[in-house]
Amino acid sequence: MDKEASNSKIPIFGGIGYLGTYMVKASIKSGHQTFVYGRPITPHKINLHNKFRSLGFTIVEGELDEHDKMVAILRQVDIVISLLPFPQVLDQIHIIEAIKVAGNITRFLPQEFGVEEDRLSFLLPFEACLDKKRKIRRAVEACVIPYTYVSANICGVYFINHLLRPHDDMTVYGFGEAKVLFNYEEDIVGYTIKVANDLRTHNRIMLYRTAKNVLSQNVLISLWEKKTGRSFKKTHVSEEELVRLAKNKFEFEFLTCLEELKGRNLPGFFFITINILMNADSPFPDNVQASLIHGIFVKGCLNYDLRENDLETSSLYPDYEYTTIEQLLDIFLPALAAF
């Protein structure tokens, strides 16, 4: 039985970002009073903010470390969803502190929406990112904040765009045979709004595993070939190459260390040096991407067996008709085929 309540008040952190935009629309569509807590408006964001305001929700301007302001806002709402980007994972500690003081939040969904970090492990660069997410989970639990952790696996549009954007050559990771779990962004947010309002998901991890959307990269490419009537040359990136790309250990640890120093009370010249180094050309983000791709597309780590007590969305909401990847390819066929 779907125990979704109606008319919750939901602020969304990162609500005008990539996944945030989908989430805000889904929340409004479900009848919830929806807010976005975002950084103060700058001239280049005016049009974006106006467009969002016209959709019918409020943007509350504030920084993540404005504690009193955040507490005052949280005292007026029920559910908090965070869709901040990866570099801001640890900044969520400010949200946790404000939720703790506000004392009235019925559910917190921290920035997750990817792999199940308490169950999976990856090569170092991505593993270090997951460690930060684990720290946030442990902080939520230590503060006894009601939570749901969302493991959405991989976003269909986001990754299909990466994997299939029509080149004459398609890049295939490893042998292309590992099974991968895709979910359409609209379903991820549709499920999430249900999950956030459902008593059954209180203090639980939600696994988004839509059975018809488990497919390998080779199957995805052949589906695409059938739909476009084209045949693509496949260029394989070997597992060894991905491991090599992921291995820039020193650089990664060095930059991680600098990132952490940024939060400390150090003299000004430190910040200038750190900013120059952080912005210098470096393979740092590529390392993370290589280790993520290695785990998902070569090792097939998302395709693990469910445990008896696992909560899985398509079983919890059997009446929800999710979009299959094949349908998603049809939706995006005109746009993608134009490249």
Ligand X SMILES: NC(=O)c1ccc[n+]([C@@H]2O[C@H](COP(=O)([O-])OP(=O)(O)OC[C@H]3O[C@@H](n4cnc5c(N)ncnc54)[C@H](OP(=O)(O)O)[C@@H]3O)[C@@H](O)[C@H]2O)c1
Q: For the purposes of burial, counting CB atoms within 10 Å of the CB of 219, is it exposed (0-12), middle (13-18) or buried (19 or more)?
A: middle
Q: Which is nearer to ligand X, 161 or 315 (CB)?
A: 161
- In the complex, the smallest distance separating the C-beta of residue 1 from ligand X, rounded to whole angstroms, is 28
3-state helix/strand/coil string of 261-292: HHCCCCCHHHHHHHHHHHHCCCCHHHHHHHHH
**List of residues contacting ligand X (CB under 6 A):** 14, 16-20, 38-39, 64, 83-86, 88, 111, 113-114, 152, 154-155, 158-159
Q: Which is nearer to ligand X, 11 or 14 (CB)?
A: 14
Contact between 115 and 151 under an 8 Å Cβ cutoff? The reply is yes
Q: Which is nearer to ligand X, 122 or 159 (CB)?
A: 159
- In the complex, the smallest distance separating the C-beta of residue 4 from ligand X, rounded to whole angstroms, is 22
Residue nearest to ligand X (CB): 17
- In the complex, the smallest distance separating the C-beta of residue 308 from ligand X, rounded to whole angstroms, is 25
- In the complex, the smallest distance separating the C-beta of residue 213 from ligand X, rounded to whole angstroms, is 13
Catalytic residue among 100, 133, 233, 299: 133
Structure tokens belonging to residue 301: 């780590």
Dihedral sign of CA atoms 82, 84, 90, 95 in order: negative
Helices 249-262 and 284-293: angle between axes, nearest 10 degrees: 120
Q: Which is nearer to ligand X, 242 or 296 (CB)?
A: 296
Q: Is 194 one of the catalytic residues?
A: no
Contact between 259 and 288 under an 8 Å Cβ cutoff? The reply is no
Classify residue 211 as left (phi > 0), alpha (psi -120 to 50) or beta: alpha
Closest CA relative to residue 112, chosen from 77, 136, 146? 136
Classify residue 313 as left (phi > 0), alpha (psi -120 to 50) or beta: alpha
- In the complex, the smallest distance separating the C-beta of residue 233 from ligand X, rounded to whole angstroms, is 26
Q: Which is nearer to ligand X, 48 or 331 (CB)?
A: 48
The residues assigned a catalytic role are: 133
